[in-house]
Amino acid sequence: MQFKRLLDTLARSSAQAVTTLGAGQKEQDELKEYLYVETSIEKDFRDLLNSNLSSESVIFLCGSSGDGKSEILKRYYETYSDRIRFHLDATHAFKPDQDAIEALDQLFDEHRESDKPLVIGINVGMLFNFASQGHPRHENIRSAIESYLQSGDEISVSYKFLNFEQYPKFSIEDGKTGSSFISELFSRVVASTESNPLHLAYLDAVRTNPSTLTLNYELLKHEQVRDRIVHLLLSARLKFDQFLSARALLDFVHHLICGPSLLFNNLFVAGHNDLSDVISHFDPCTIRSRSIDQFLIQHPLGIREEAFDEFQNSVQEALGIVDIESAGWLRFFYLFQDIAIGNNFHQRFKKDFEQPLYDRYIEIWRLHKSYDGSAEERQKLRSFYKDELVYALVRFGNRLDPSLTAKQHLFLCSRNGVFISAVADIKPDLKRIENEEMANIHEFPVCLKVGDEPLQTFNVNLSFLELVSKINDGYRPNKHDKNTIVILEEIVDDVIKLVIRSNKLMLSDGRQHVYLTNEIEDSEIVVGGVE
């Protein structure tokens, strides 16, 4: 099979993108089998199949479209179908005039009369629909689904749930950041082995018809390039909560190799799919720095630099790349920044490509995940809460009277031009942090208390941390930050509900400050501290 035709198998639009129980073309099936990477959810699924299941048992393999449910189910169908019934697609109808809910009702009716356990591949959205719309005769199943969706609890031993969302593709624990699944998948695509159909087709194409396709495939063979792409995918997950299914990743690989340009340009071209659209937000050409701006201006004007000319010759000799525009060169610099080439002209931009906010997020996430009460971690967490998070909350709460922040007061309300405030004794609740469960990498739980009274735990993601950093630098949130502002306002409101109980308030008209102290034991209000 030609190299291009085999690559097209990876595309989402390919007929082979969705797994069925029918037979496909031999070469395409061989490629799919070769590229398949076993995941943790598959291991747990296999353990469930091998466990002591009763005839009443139902296993729900759930997630989102394209995450690999059908692929897993197909792999175990032949081995287990003699004792377990498989239903690959919960949207499948048994009759032309039957909707998905009616089909599930029928499926569970048949299961009730069967002597086999049932396995269903189902999207989470369909689980919600059946919990609310399924027939009352299946109330036990509907209740089990509803309980799982609300709290993650399995209220019956007969109903088991395996959710792809509970098996994140990225890990930022143990001092390592990345994705073993994605890295292995990319490695298999470009592996120089006889068991890799793509590699064999590539060798034939290089001999007979070398092209941009073969060049892009060669560029993807560099491990450091693949690592940089994985890092971008992690950034997309953190910044935009981007869902990454196996199908979407293979489609993305297809775009990288078969897109309209060279790989480093294809990487940042929007319009192919949702994943490409998100990655385009990280285009290094949008970074503003003196050295990047200077390069982007000088190169189109034909201003020569000997070091760059020498570098271009090295790139042509090593990789066969010629005739790149300035934007393409900058993207090349970004993607190959960890690879030594010639005089390493491209590595002078590494500092410009750094993402300190992402590094800070990962650091804080790890602190929350691994916090064990040690003195070192306690100090680091307190520093983050005091100097970054709490400081930003107080600045935001005091946006009508910024002078209150320096006094460690929080604005409560205003009457007739008089601002009323109280001491904001906000601090981390370290005991709760130690006991918090963290299931996702795209957020971490924040535990605060005002004095000794705890606030409700809330989750912080990268966008929230970015706004915190900007507020501390003097930024005033606006309508473009509306999603994050809602969270900020809710937190400040919760703090105010506790702070307002203070025995000491401050009144200010901009010229002088007066303190009112409620002497509870003496049942009187003391006025003092006039400034």
CA distance 255 to 269: 9
Q: What percent of the chain has pLDDT over 90?
A: 65
Report yes or no on 427 lying in a domain: yes
Same domain, 348 and 379: no
Provide Rg for the chain, Cα atoms.
29
Same domain, 325 and 382: no
pLDDT of residue 510: 76
Domain boundary among the residues 106, 140, 166 is at: 166
What b/e readout covers 400-438, taking b as 16+ CB neighbours within 10 angstroms? ebeebbebebbbbeeeeeebbbbbbbbebbbebbeeeee
Domain boundary among the residues 166, 183, 216 is at: 166
Q: Give the model's confidence band at 19: pLDDT under 50 very low, under 70 low, under 90 confident, else very high.
A: very low
Q: Give the model's confidence band at 328: pLDDT under 50 very low, under 70 low, under 90 confident, else very high.
A: very high
Report yes or no on 362 lying in a domain: no
Same domain, 377 and 503: yes
Q: Quick check: 527 pLDDT over 90?
A: no
Same domain, 488 and 384: yes
DSSP H or E segment with residue 513: strand 513-519
pLDDT of residue 21: 45
Same domain, 498 and 381: yes
Least confident of 110-119, 120-129, 187-196, 505-514: 505-514
Q: What share of the chain is helix, strand, coil (3-state, %, to 5)?
A: 55, 10, 35
Same domain, 339 and 478: no
Same domain, 315 and 381: no
Contact 460, 428 (CB under 8 A): no
Structure tokens that stand for 388 in this block: 């970054």
What secondary structure letter does DSSP report for 166? G
Question: Which phi-psi region, left, alpha or beta, contains residue 409 (left: φ > 0; alpha: ψ -120 to 50)?
Answer: beta
Residue 226: CA atoms inside 13 Å, Cβ hemisphere, count?
A: 21
Report yes or no on 197 lying in a domain: no
pLDDT of residue 64: 82
Structure tokens that stand for 17 in this block: 């993108």
> Is the C-alpha dihedral spanning 149, 151, 156, 160 positive or negative?
positive
Kindly tell me the burial class for residue 11, based on how many C-beta atoms sit within 10 Å of its own C-beta (0-12, 13-18, 19 or more).
buried
Q: Give the model's confidence band at 484: pLDDT under 50 very low, under 70 low, under 90 confident, else very high.
A: confident
Report yes or no on 17 lying in a domain: no
Report yes or no on 184 lying in a domain: no
Structure tokens that stand for 151 in this block: 């709290």
Please tell me whether residue 322 adopts helix, strand or coil conformation. coil
Q: Which of residues 24 and 54 earns the better pLDDT score? A: 54
Q: Which tens digits make up the pLDDT trace of 270-324?
A: 988 889 999 999 999 999 999 999 999 988 888 888 999 999 999 999 999 988 9
Contacts of 25 (CB under 8 A, 6+ apart): 16
Domain boundary among the residues 356, 390, 419 is at: 356
Contact 262, 324 (CB under 8 A): yes
Q: Quickly count: other Cβ atoms within 10 Å of residue 380's Cβ.
A: 16
Report yes or no on 451 lying in a domain: yes
Same domain, 335 and 211: yes
pLDDT of residue 173: 64
pLDDT of residue 17: 46
Closest CA to 412 of 529, 472, 498, 490: 498
Contact 495, 394 (CB under 8 A): no
Same domain, 216 and 318: yes
Q: Edge-to-edge strand order for the sheet containing 448-450?
A: 426-428, 448-450, 453-454
300 φ, ψ (degrees, to nearest 5): -65, -25
Structure tokens that stand for 201 in this block: 């087709």
pLDDT of residue 254: 95
Contact 105, 74 (CB under 8 A): no
Q: Give the model's confidence band at 15: pLDDT under 50 very low, under 70 low, under 90 confident, else very high.
A: very low
Question: Which phi-psi region, left, alpha or beta, contains residue 66 (left: φ > 0; alpha: ψ -120 to 50)?
Answer: left
Contacts of 387 (CB under 8 A, 6+ apart): none
Same domain, 385 and 338: no
Contact 360, 436 (CB under 8 A): no
pLDDT of residue 153: 86
Helices (H), 120-175: 124-133, 139-151
CA distance 518 to 278: 55
Average pLDDT of the chain to the nearest whole number: 89
DSSP labels, 391-422: HHHHHHHTTT-THHHHTTEEEEEEETTEEEEE
Range of the domain at 498: 372-528
CA distance 125 to 492: 33
pLDDT of residue 274: 85
CA distance 188 to 191: 5
pLDDT of residue 319: 96
CA distance 190 to 124: 33
Give the mean pLDDT of 225-239: 94
Report yes or no on 241 lying in a domain: yes
Same domain, 328 and 413: no
What b/e readout covers 479-491, taking b as 16+ CB neighbours within 10 angstroms? eebeebeebbeeb
Contacts of 385 (CB under 8 A, 6+ apart): 427, 428, 448
Total count of domains within the chain: 3
Q: Quick check: 26 pLDDT over 80?
A: no
Q: Which tens digits make up the pLDDT trace of 106-137?
A: 999 999 999 999 999 999 999 999 999 999 99
pLDDT of residue 63: 86
Distances (CA, A) of 456 to 171, 426, 429, 452, 498: 27, 13, 11, 13, 12
Report yes or no on 455 lying in a domain: yes
Helices (H), 13-99: 26-35, 40-49, 69-80
Give the mean pLDDT of 84-107: 84
pLDDT of residue 167: 86
Closest CA to 366 of 175, 181, 231: 175
Same domain, 155 and 210: no
pLDDT of residue 93: 66
Closest CA to 312 of 302, 303, 321: 321
CA distance 196 to 283: 31
518 φ, ψ (degrees, to nearest 5): -90, 100
Q: Quick check: 426 pLDDT over 90?
A: yes
Q: Quick check: 355 pLDDT over 50?
A: yes
Q: Give the model's confidence band at 255: pLDDT under 50 very low, under 70 low, under 90 confident, else very high.
A: very high
CA distance 57 to 84: 10
CA distance 437 to 171: 15
What secondary structure letter does DSSP report for 349? G
